[in-house]
Chain A
């Protein structure tokens, strides 16, 4: 069969959002690929220049609907760095708890979508069912289920509700049993292993050269996690491990995310135990000084970074976002070359695309 270019997207079940993957195929084999993004560009960075610092928090929730807490937290971290604010310790602990709950919810949504990509709708429903637990927890803290608007510059909006610790521990106990169930569905299925093992190889050197971060790089056996290497909040006071897997393939990336969910449960438990009493918020100044600042966090999808320039007013002069998926997508051709068209959902699914933050 002759070579041809196939447009997978912008309206395609594989894409998980609005983007286009152009694939050059010969028969079923992929010769080359070219990601085309930008369909969801909302001018996010420009929008921030017309809003005061607190007004940007709800906006930053909209960067990624899958893990909006991480992004608003990242924004608050950046502005705290800009204004030189010390956050009370209780607020930091609360942040860690909600961030890890958000990470679990985000990974669950990823597994759900991955199941659908591979034709296993059951996993989708199961994972979405358990995601509900964590959305309920986050709802009890923040009042919202998707875009929380919860972190504040200098702390968090409100304290944890009464009985939160009890509910949270209960949910975690239940959930850890469910992770075993997912492993039975996925690792126990020979076909799933056939579809993911040895597929979408990303060598550690390639990954690092292209700036790939997060679970995708950890799946290539590189031990990097900003929560350890550039600790923010109180991650350095907690006892946890970086999850990696040496296989470099889709299965490794799947494994890393599964292990991370377990690790997140452990972090939440410890953070709840260590949580001190005290204030949850300090007052932040209205205007930022004339300087620059940045912060970076370990988003569920990789390294998220924000760089801000303050000009002495109550609005940022410039706010730049480094999105993990925007960078990871450039590694897609390397991961796809030489595999079959049928592997495209398997490989692209393992990257965990999120277009909101990619196109901004």
Chain B
């Protein structure tokens, strides 16, 4: 039973109750409309989105908590520990706090793009969740070009950042937006190229089939180790975390392109960052670490465990590295990662031609 059937079962049951109520009250036409297959399908999809959003939200919240605790331990302190068990509810408290904050629009900001940039940001981040399956039964869509879709959505973000940075009418945020555009564009290429090897080996762009291919042979981290390294570096740059968090480099650009955002918009941007972090880690797991494969535990749990392990690597990097400069970041991208990704493709082609996988 997959997620769709499960949700459909619940929706049908709920609709059944409501229909019985409506019939009893005498609204037979309405009951008939509600019971039609199209409406049921629509409600099912709606229910599915809510489930997926809830999962994404919980994962993001857990990631923030994980980051706080792990970073705290790396820094020889304890991290959040007061609100809730081991400080788990601290994030929810912070979210409520940002909700209560006044939302200030700078007087000279360009209002429409300023207001829409966070919407695009959070919207594209949520859209990412749609294409990420937690297992072969827990997914929303089964796109044949799932991987391309994920990275197409990933690359909407620089647009939002540039828009927000420019519309804020602040020099820091303008520079932050510019940096972000340059960085994301130059890291998109090695990122996609490092994926090509995996796609070649699996013979599909469908995420489910890639995982299936790994189940049948080995995890692609072994034949594609160079690709994995390139992918991890590029994905850290893509989700803008230290050492590649230049667009919001706080020491020189205050808070980068976020500088002028306050209140819940800031909270949403923060949440979007972690949605993207989740998506990045999830793609790494799907492409290289065997997806949801694993013994004993249910596949969804395995998937999340792997995602949290990959995210731990992100936190680890943050705890031990300094920030890279913008020209250096572009140099690394074009002069180091791009050739490595090319080498990786050659390796993948060789493996495929020799028929090892």
Identify the A interface with B (CB < 8 A): 1, 4, 6, 8, 12-14, 25, 27-28, 115-122, 125-126, 129, 185, 189, 191-192, 194-195, 340-345
Measured CA separation A4–B171 after assembly (Å): 9
A6, A27, A195, A341: the one contacting B322 at CB < 8 Å is A195
B324 touches A195 (CB 8 A): yes
Given A6-B171, A195-B324, are A121 and B251 also a contact pair (CB < 8 Å)? no
In B265-323, the 8 Å CB interface with A consists of 319-323
Residues of B within 8 A of A194 (CB): 324-325, 328
Measured CA separation A207–B323 after assembly (Å): 28
Residue of A nearest to B327 (CB): A340
A119 touches B245 (CB 8 A): yes
Measured CA separation A6–B77 after assembly (Å): 36
Q: How far is the CB of A157 from chain B (nearest CB, A)?
A: 34
Residues of A within 8 A of B114 (CB): none
Measured CA separation A269–B322 after assembly (Å): 34
Residues of A within 8 A of B71 (CB): 121
Pairs A-B, 10 closest by C-beta atoms: A119-B323, A118-B322, A345-B251, A125-B75, A342-B325, A120-B322, A117-B251, A192-B322, A6-B171, A191-B322
Measured CA separation A25–B175 after assembly (Å): 10
A129, A189, A342: the one contacting B76 at CB < 8 Å is A129
B2 at interface, CB cutoff 8 A: no
Residues of A within 8 A of B320 (CB): 120, 122, 185, 189
Residue of A nearest to B323 (CB): A119
A342 touches B322 (CB 8 A): no
13 contacts between A and B (CB under 8 A): A28-B179, A28-B326, A28-B327, A117-B251, A119-B250, A120-B322, A122-B75, A122-B319, A125-B77, A194-B328, A341-B175, A342-B326, A345-B252
A119 touches B75 (CB 8 A): no
Measured CA separation A357–B101 after assembly (Å): 37
Residues of B within 8 A of A119 (CB): 242-243, 245, 249-251, 321-323
Residue of A nearest to B171 (CB): A6
Residues of A within 8 A of B171 (CB): 4, 6
Measured CA separation A14–B76 after assembly (Å): 24
Residues of B within 8 A of A12 (CB): 254
B325 touches A195 (CB 8 A): yes
In B224-270, the 8 Å CB interface with A consists of 242-243, 245-246, 249-254
Q: How far is the CB of B133 from chain A (nearest CB, A)?
A: 34
